Chains A and B, each alone.
Chain A
Amino acid sequence: MEPLKTTEEYREYWYRWVILTLFVVVSIAGGFANSTCAPITDQVSDIYGVSIIWVEMNTMVYELVFIIAIFPSNYITDTFEIRVSVSITQVNSGAALTLVGSIVRLGAQWSFWPVLIGNVFVALGMAVASGCTAKISAFWFRPAWVCSTQRTNATMIASIANGVGGAIGLLVPPLFVTGNNKSQFLTLLLFEAGLSVVCCGAALIFMRNRPPTPPSPSGAVKREAFVPALKSVMTNFPFLMTLGVVSLSLGTNNVFNTVVEIVIVPYGFNSVRFTQTDAGVLGGVMTISGLLGCLITSPIVGRTRKYKLASLLINIFAAAGTFIFAFTLYVGNIFLSSFCVAVIGFGMMPISAFMIELACEVTYPVGEAMSTGLLNMADKSSASSGPS
């Protein structure tokens, strides 16, 4: 552990909120772009006359590219960081790739394939940028010893941004594409490209390197190089356990979100069966309760630093919620099912940020990008085991 510079002045700068906002808008733009084709799969398939599996690949490519790209991107950024401390370059690279991807997708005017190629760029951009989730909070925000929970809150906000973008990406496209109309689809892609130009362009211009003075002593410590860091985390038992929790709980939760419609539709009360609209209601309830969970639990866990207790309680309640949910299907009461889903969502959205913070704590002084990247990879790998 070698400090970058000898200073006893630790302070926060108001510009940290600009940095966090820029990261959030880049993540939202990326999440939005990656989910674009998911709710309009049939329409896109009809417009271009391609198989549905190729249209679905637009969403699946995100997880595949993420898993493949996370190690190389971490290696490059961590290797560069040894000399020039470029956490922000990582966000900028992610923003640039997202921007390029959004523009490449405009080739949809001529063919379907530019959409898929563009989404590969966007996915690559998100894989590169995702390593900064905990990095920005560590380099710009104070930890809890100064009665501030801003570091945990910052990690929380950064970690849910991509998911929020994905949710927007499920809601907005059907508003643009109402039928098998190519011009509507092109308008949607143009809208998203414009959004990416604004969000990613702002990130490219206004992102800054580390602050002039660090917010805390750990913010000034030089992180380990890639290979020693990888060895260190792979032999770190608490980190491996954290990885296991993320794979099991978040991976399962991702699968649950995906299959909830398939699970509920065959059930109902007497002749009144659950519908796809009910599935949409459950998804909405889950998202809202998740955001509420973030608002309530983040300050508490940030102040008390009881990451383990939080994870334990969240997983117990989520398991109970999922178990009871299965039986509420026989009752056919949407309110009862919604309550169970709300319990699951309440904990599952914030747990990602808690696990990222815990991983950074137990692996310190390994760089935040390494631990965050591995957790994200485990999450995505588990989710990939879900239905295609």
Chain B
Amino acid sequence: VDALLNASPLLANLVMAVFMGLAAIVTLFIKEDLKRFTSDKAANEVSVYKPPNTLLETPPESPLLDANDLKQTDEVSINKAAL
């Protein structure tokens, strides 16, 4: 900038305008991925708008039973009904 100012203050000013224009062009390449906002919004919807006792609510922890067990139990009962 010192060199430009010594050569021509006007030219220095025009170069600054070019840099700002470049900033506008670079802005076009930004992908506006609002991860924090999306995360906040999703968590807020779950905690506020979902009624209690739905599948979204955390199931009670049991050392003997997990999600796969529940699925298998359901399948077995369906098979029994079919029989």
Question: Would you call A238 and B23 a contact (CB within 8 A)?
Answer: no
Question: Would you call B16 and A256 a contact (CB within 8 A)?
Answer: yes
Interface bracket on B: 35 or more
Q: Is A182 an interface position by the 8 A CB rule? A: no
Nearest opposing residue in chain B for A215, CB measure: B40
Question: Would you call A145 and B41 a contact (CB within 8 A)?
Answer: yes
Q: Write the nearest CB–CB distance from B38 to chain A, whole angstroms.
A: 9
A218 to B38, CA, bound (A): 10
Q: Is the interface of A mostly helix, strand, loop or mixed?
A: helix
A-B contact count (CB 8 A): 148
Q: Write the nearest CB–CB distance from B49 to chain A, whole angstroms.
A: 12
Interface residues in A325-358 (C-beta closer than 8 Å to B): 325-326, 329, 358
What residues on A are CB-neighbors of B41 within 8 Å?
145
A329 to B18, CA, bound (A): 18
Q: Write the nearest CB–CB distance from A337 to chain B, whole angstroms.
A: 11
Q: Is B44 an interface position by the 8 A CB rule? A: yes
With A311-B30, A364-B39 as contacts: A329 and B2 at CB distance below 8 Å? no
Q: Is A228 an interface position by the 8 A CB rule? A: no
Interface residues in B36-52 (C-beta closer than 8 Å to A): 36-37, 39-41, 43-44, 47
Q: Is A206 an interface position by the 8 A CB rule? A: no
Interface residues in A229-253 (C-beta closer than 8 Å to B): 237-238, 241-242, 244-245, 248-249, 251-253
Partner pick for B33 among A253, A362, A365, CB 8 A cutoff: A362
A264 to B19, CA, bound (A): 19
What residues on A are CB-neighbors of B1 within 8 Å?
255, 259, 385-387
Question: Would you call B34 and A305 a contact (CB within 8 A)?
Answer: yes
List residues of B whose CB falls within 8 A of some A CB. Answer: 1-2, 5, 9-10, 12-14, 16-24, 26-37, 39-41, 43-44, 47
